[in-house]
């Protein structure tokens, strides 16, 4: 095959262009810190990269779900602790009101305090996280505790208008954890005991105040403590899940970094070598194209 000057010129320009393209790619990799700039750079690694990024998005959503569950349960525990404190105050008032030497006017004053505590319990039963009521079951958009008032403005009863449904969050593929406790399982006994105590104090029934009322309050305390233990167990599980997801996220990020991040030292070395190759190509090319017909005619 006859080699012409034109063929040599095109070959030289092609090689120069290829060398420049490699230099440009190395510069872009250094600038972005990423080894894969487009899928064609490494199709197999690109597939793995996409899978790892998808997994990270899922993990991020799971973490958000877990944190939402922790916030919900922490607020639930705070509310139940407050209910327990109120019940203890009601018990103290019951002991005080059962004293035979106490005047009825004093018992009436104690009954008024009990009535205020009942109203406070309604507020606690309607506790919210954001715009959701935590004791309403799945009916989280409306207050679950609704009070009915007597003619004198006292609370004669409190009805539960939520449901017994459970609110769950997904913390892994196919794994969901319940994070709520319907208020009906807790507050019914508490309200019944508190309202009964108030009415017996107003009626001057010392036997009931010092007997069945105290017993009802103790039973209500046990109900609250049992559910606080349940909340504590759920909270522990959420916190363990959050820690596990953190480990999985860190490992996934490490794998993704190994797939897509550059080795800076190696890349700089490759860039320097490519620059030397490019300069050598220029030198050789200048010598190839320098001779012409006129040179030989002189």
CATH code for the domain in which residue 61 is found = 1.20.1330.10
Count CB atoms within 10 A of the CB of residue 226.
Answer: 12
pTM: 0.76
- Is 29 or 244 the better-scoring residue by pLDDT? 244
Are 132 and 278 contained in the same domain? no
On the question of pLDDT at 14 being above 80, the answer is: no
Task: Give residue 216's domain range.
Answer: 52-254
The number of folded domains in the chain is 2
Condensed to tens digits (0 to 9), the pLDDT of residues 178-203 reads: 999 999 989 999 999 999 999 999 98
Condensed to tens digits (0 to 9), the pLDDT of residues 214-243 reads: 999 999 999 999 999 999 999 999 999 999
Q: Is residue 84 part of a domain?
A: yes
Are 149 and 167 contained in the same domain? yes
Beta bridge partners of 98: none
Task: Give the pLDDT mean for 111-133.
Answer: 95
Considering only 10-19, 40-49, 88-97, 132-141, which range has the smallest mean pLDDT? 10-19
Q: Is residue 141 part of a domain?
A: yes
Are 232 and 101 contained in the same domain? yes
Q: Among residues of the chain, what percentage have pLDDT more than 90?
A: 57
Per-residue b or e along 12-35, where b marks 16 or more CB atoms closer than 10 Å to that residue's CB: beeeeeebeebbebbeebeeeeeb
Q: How high is the pLDDT of residue 173?
A: 87
Task: Give the pLDDT mean for 259-275.
Answer: 64
If pLDDT is split at 50, 70 and 90, which confidence band does 34 have? low
* Dist. CA 178–CA 215, nearest whole Å: 32
Q: How high is the pLDDT of residue 11?
A: 62
- Is 46 or 113 the better-scoring residue by pLDDT? 113
Are 168 and 286 contained in the same domain? no
Which residue blocks in 103-211 are alpha helix, DSSP H? 104-125, 184-203, 206-210
If pLDDT is split at 50, 70 and 90, which confidence band does 128 have? very high
Are 287 and 212 contained in the same domain? no
Task: Give the pLDDT mean for 141-150.
Answer: 93
Q: Is residue 114 part of a domain?
A: yes
Q: Is residue 232 part of a domain?
A: yes
On the question of pLDDT at 291 being above 90, the answer is: no
Q: How high is the pLDDT of residue 284?
A: 62
On the question of pLDDT at 105 being above 70, the answer is: yes
Q: How high is the pLDDT of residue 26?
A: 62
Q: How high is the pLDDT of residue 256?
A: 75
Q: Is residue 45 part of a domain?
A: no
Q: Is residue 108 part of a domain?
A: yes
Are 208 and 280 contained in the same domain? no
If pLDDT is split at 50, 70 and 90, which confidence band does 3 have? low
Q: Looking only at Cα atoms, what is the longest distance across the chain? A: 139
Are 91 and 200 contained in the same domain? yes
Are 232 and 288 contained in the same domain? no
* Dist. CA 147–CA 52, nearest whole Å: 53
CA 209, distance to chain mean position in Å, is: 46
Which residue blocks in the chain are alpha helix, DSSP H? 5-32, 43-97, 104-125, 184-203, 206-210, 212-260, 264-289, 293-297
On the question of pLDDT at 20 being above 80, the answer is: no
Are 77 and 218 contained in the same domain? yes
Are 289 and 232 contained in the same domain? no
Q: Is residue 161 part of a domain?
A: yes
Task: Give the pLDDT mean for 281-287.
Answer: 64
- State how beta strands 175-178 and 155-160 pair: unpaired
Are 91 and 129 contained in the same domain? yes
- Stated as kind and residue range, the H or E segment containing 147 is strand 145-149
Q: Is residue 70 part of a domain?
A: yes
Condensed to tens digits (0 to 9), the pLDDT of residues 53-85 reads: 889 999 999 999 999 999 999 999 999 999 999
If pLDDT is split at 50, 70 and 90, which confidence band does 264 have? low
Are 217 and 289 contained in the same domain? no
């Amino acid at each position: 095959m006859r080699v012409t000057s034109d063929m040599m010129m095109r070959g030289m320009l092609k090689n120069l262009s290829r060398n420049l393209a490699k230099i440009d790619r190395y510069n872009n990799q250094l600038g972005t810190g990423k080894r894969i700039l487009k899928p064609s750079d490494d199709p197999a690694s690109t597939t793995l990269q996409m899978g790892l990024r998808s997994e990270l998005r899922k993990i991020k959503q799971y973490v958000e779900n877990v944190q939402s569950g922790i916030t919900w349960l922490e607020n639930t525990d705070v509310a139940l602790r407050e209910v327990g404190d109120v019940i203890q105050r009601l018990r103290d008032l019951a002991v005080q009101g059962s004293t035979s030497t106490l005047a009825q006017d004093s018992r009436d004053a104690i009954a008024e305090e009990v009535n205020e505590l009942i109203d406070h319990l309604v507020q606690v039963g309607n506790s919210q996280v954001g715009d959701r009521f935590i004791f309403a079951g799945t009916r989280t958009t409306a207050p679950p505790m609704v009070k009915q008032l007597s003619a004198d403005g006292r609370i004669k009863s409190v009805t539960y208008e939520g449901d017994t449904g459970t609110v769950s969050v997904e913390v892994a593929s196919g794994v969901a954890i319940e994070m709520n406790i319907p208020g009906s399982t807790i507050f019914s006994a508490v309200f019944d005991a508190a309202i009964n105590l108030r009415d017996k104090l107003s009626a001057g029934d010392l036997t009931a105040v010092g007997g069945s009322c105290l017993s009802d309050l103790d039973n209500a305390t046990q109900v609250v403590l049992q559910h606080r233990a349940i909340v504590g167990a759920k909270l522990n599980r959420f916190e363990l899940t959050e820690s596990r997801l953190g480990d999985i996220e860190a490992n996934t990020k490490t794998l993704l970094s190994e797939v897509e991040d550059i080795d800076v030292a190696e890349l700089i070395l490759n860039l320097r070598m490519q620059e030397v190759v490019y300069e050598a190509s220029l030198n050789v090319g200048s010598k190839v194209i320098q001779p012409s017909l006129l040179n030989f005619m002189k």
